[in-house]
Amino acid sequence: MSNVSGELSEVTIRSIQHYMYCPHRWGLMEIEESWAENIFVTKANLIHERVHDPDKNYTARGKKNFTSVQVYNDLDPYRLFGVIDCLELVPDVKGVPVPGENGTYRLRIVEYKPTQLKGQEYREDDAMQVFAQKLCVDYVFGGECEGIIYYADVKKRIHLPLCEQFTEYDEKLKKLLSEMRDYREKGKVPPIREKQKCSGCSMKDLCMPTIKPIKSLHDEIKKIKRITL
Ligand code: SF4
């Protein structure tokens, strides 16, 4: 999808994760502009509110921590932007300079998640979100940053293999971005995937996947209005 000057449209990093979780849900939010809050969303928001406090920059165990760091990558085909929960700066002579700081640093993204799934180290959509953040951090600061997920329930950090599997993540991300821009351009909500897992989805009441798929929320609202008039 291109803007008026013929450039590819921007994509928020968070929306990539939404699309991976359920393309239909992403479409309802982004194309139909629907949103429903539930306990899972609220819990995640509370954790993010605590993290996203720009006054909470601090130094711990020799590492500088910057919260709510805004990043972007405006190279095609990425054109991504978003906010990072926490960027850790680890002093390292082989690292990169950071504006406003003395010395050079190895950079590390730390993404906070409320719960770790049982039997799974990390979710692929979470890893892809951090990979997209990495593309932005590497673009803005240079170097090769690392990606970590911190699970609040088990207080555990998981190192993500983003540098080791760069090509696989990169190809997958480009494919996702192309699909998302295609749906946006057509103004079409993606259909519900076969075997889509819906537990914990905040949009269940709007989507009602067990009753029948809604092709367009706007059409459904129009129909209801016609009946009640
Ligand atoms: S209820 Fe299921 S199909 Fe519907 S938006 Fe949520 S995850 Fe997707």
Question: Per-residue confidence at 50, pLDDT binned at 50, 70, 90?
Answer: low
Rounded distance, CA 69 to CA 83, Å? 5
Q: What average pLDDT score do residues 136-146 get? A: 93
Instruction: Tell me the CA–centroid distance for residue 217 and ligand 1, in Å.
Output: 13
Enumerate residues 6+ apart whose C-beta is below 8 A from 75: 139
Task: Please report the pLDDT score of residue 202 as a whole number.
Answer: 83
- H runs (alpha helix) in the chain: 13-21, 23-30, 39-51, 124-141, 166-186, 204-207, 217-228
Q: How confident is the model at residue 8 (pLDDT cuts 50, 70, 90)?
A: confident
What's the average model confidence in pLDDT over 47-73? 74
Domains of the chain: 11-228 (3.90.320)
Atom of ligand 1 nearest to the CA of 201: 6
Model confidence at 164: pLDDT above 90: yes
Measure the CA angle with vertex 123, ends 144 and 40; round to 5°. 120
Query: Does the predicted TM-score (pTM) go above 0.85?
Result: no
**Is the pLDDT score of 114 beyond 70?**
yes
What pLDDT band is residue 47 in, cutting at 50, 70 and 90? low
pLDDT band for 57, please (50, 70, 90 cuts). confident
Out of 17, 19, 22, mutate this one to test ligand 1's pocket (max ligand atoms within 8 Å of CB): namely: 22
pLDDT > 90? residue 166: yes
| pLDDT tops 70 at residue 229 | no
Pair 189, 216: CB distance under 8 Å: yes
String of DSSP letters for 51-103: H--TT--EEETTEEEEEEEEEEE-STTT-EEEEEEEEEEEEEEEEEE-TTSSS
pLDDT reported for residue 216: 59
β-pair type (104-113, 146-151) = parallel
- For 5-19, 45-59, 125-139, which range has the lowest pLDDT when averaged over its residues? 45-59
Q: pLDDT at residue 173 above 80?
A: yes
What's the pLDDT band for 61 if we cut at 50, 70, 90? confident
What is the predicted pLDDT for the residue at 223? Answer: 60
- The atom of ligand 1 lying closest to the CA of 203 is 6
Asked whether 9 and 184 are in contact (CB, 8 A), the reply is yes
d(CA 131, CA 49): 22
Higher pLDDT, 97 or 53: 97
Q: Provide the pLDDT confidence category of residue 75 given band limits of 50, 70 and 90.
A: very high
Residue in this structure with the two tokens 């909500």, named with its chain if needed: 189
* Residues lining ligand 1, Cβ inside 6 A: 22, 24-25, 192, 196, 198, 201, 203-204, 207, 209
Q: Which of 19, 34, 203 to mutate to test the pocket of ligand 1 (most atoms within 8 A of CB)?
A: 203
Which residue owns the Cα nearest ligand 1 atom 5? Answer: 25
